[in-house]
Amino acid sequence: MENNKIKIVTRTPVSLTDPEFFCNKSWTLSFNMNTKSWVSFHSYLPNFYIGENNFFYSGLNGCCDTDEFKVVAGTIDPVVPTTTTTTTFYPSPTTTTTTTVLSCAPLSGEVVITDCTLVGTGVITVPPTTTTTVCHRPSSLLTEFVFIQGYTLGTDPEVIFTASLIDACSAIPDIEYVISPSNIDGSTLDTFYGQANTTSEVLEFGNTVYYGTGTDCTLVPDGWYFAYSGMVLQYVYHISGGVIIGISICDSMTTTTTTTIAPTTTTTTTI
């Protein structure tokens, strides 16, 4: 509102086909299938296109309401020209439509139904598979043992002594304290179960020792261990490759007698 006057804005919908506001500047492009290129502009404006083997039709809607079918038809040149000359006609301010009158008579011809039924014997080819045999420990001649590999005194950090025979022998006083009735501070042993291929309650040279009590072939890691099965702790067992290769008796804290095995001889060493 300005100076007590009300401004009124009137909006009128305008169609693209309204000649008062728009002039049709449309055209049609021709594409040559042989040269794979656009070759010309045309002033006629078809509504639809029909492609056949040797002809390409373009036409205007509404032909089938009467007896006339207005199209522009052309023949496809099967020969690819070696050279191409292109003439381009730009649309003029006025639009001119060129039409050809064709009959809308029904199409005639022969319809062939293709039979896609396969005849023969199908063979399913299966690629070869790789078979892996799972190793299982013997189901008999196995005795269960408890292996000691470390200890914790009270809240102190855990000590693992399997790195050497000297470490194992040095751990004897602490192990005896942990398993003694005087242990009142919660000191504990670090132990695990293992199975050896023997029916005796004593481990021997050459015994294979499996880790845990399962059925797989996992072996006890290499190192020096105390082990017992219903007996008082006595020996240190040297295990390598899952096989007992040495049995030692720790004599006080300074002298250790070690007996080891080799493929053909037995060696006794006094430290």
In percent, the amount of the chain with pLDDT more than 70 equals: 70
114 lies in some domain = no
Tokens 């797989």 sit on residue: 216
What are the structure tokens assigned to 228, written together?
């017992």
Contacting residues for 5 by C-beta, under 8 A, at least 6 apart: none
pLDDT in tens, 47-104: 777 877 777 777 777 655 555 555 555 555 565 555 555 555 555 555 556 666 666 6
13 lies in some domain = no
Q: Are residues 82 and 152 in the same domain?
A: no
Tell me, what's the pLDDT at 219? 95
Tell me, what's the pLDDT at 243? 96
Contacting residues for 139 by C-beta, under 8 A, at least 6 apart: none
pLDDT in tens, 156-165: 899 999 999 9
Amino acid at 41: F
- Of 176, 207, 185, 209, whose CA–CA distance to 195 is shortest? 209
Of 21-30, 179-188, 210-219, 233-242, least confident by mean pLDDT is 21-30
Kindly report the pTM of this predicted structure. 0.46
Q: In angstroms, rounded to a whole number, what is the distance separating the alpha carbons of residues 228 and 184? A: 23
Q: Are residues 147 and 265 in the same domain?
A: yes
Total domains in the chain come to 2
- 2-6, 144-148, 255-259: which has the highest mean pLDDT? 144-148
135 lies in some domain = no
Of 19-23, 32-36, 77-81, 183-187, least confident by mean pLDDT is 77-81
Q: Are residues 96 and 47 in the same domain?
A: yes
Tokens 């309204």 sit on residue: 18
Give the C-alpha distances (Å, rounded to integers) separating 220 from 113, 151, 193, 226: 74, 18, 10, 13
Q: In angstroms, rounded to a whole number, what is the distance separating the alpha carbons of residues 57 and 52? A: 8
52 lies in some domain = yes
Tell me, what's the pLDDT at 218? 93
Selected residue with higher pLDDT from 123 and 255: 123
127 lies in some domain = no
pLDDT in tens, 231-264: 556 789 999 999 999 999 887 443 344 444 444 3
Residues forming beta bridges with residue 227, ordered by sequence position:
147
40 lies in some domain = yes
Selected residue with higher pLDDT from 215 and 100: 215
Domain housing 205: 143-270
Tell me, what's the pLDDT at 261? 45
The alpha carbon of residue 216 and the mean position of all alpha carbons in its chain are separated, in whole angstroms, by 29
Q: Are residues 151 and 262 in the same domain?
A: yes
Q: Are residues 150 and 69 in the same domain?
A: no
Do 186 and 151 touch, CB atoms closer than 8 A? no
- Of 103, 104, 102, 89, whose CA–CA distance to 44 is shortest? 89
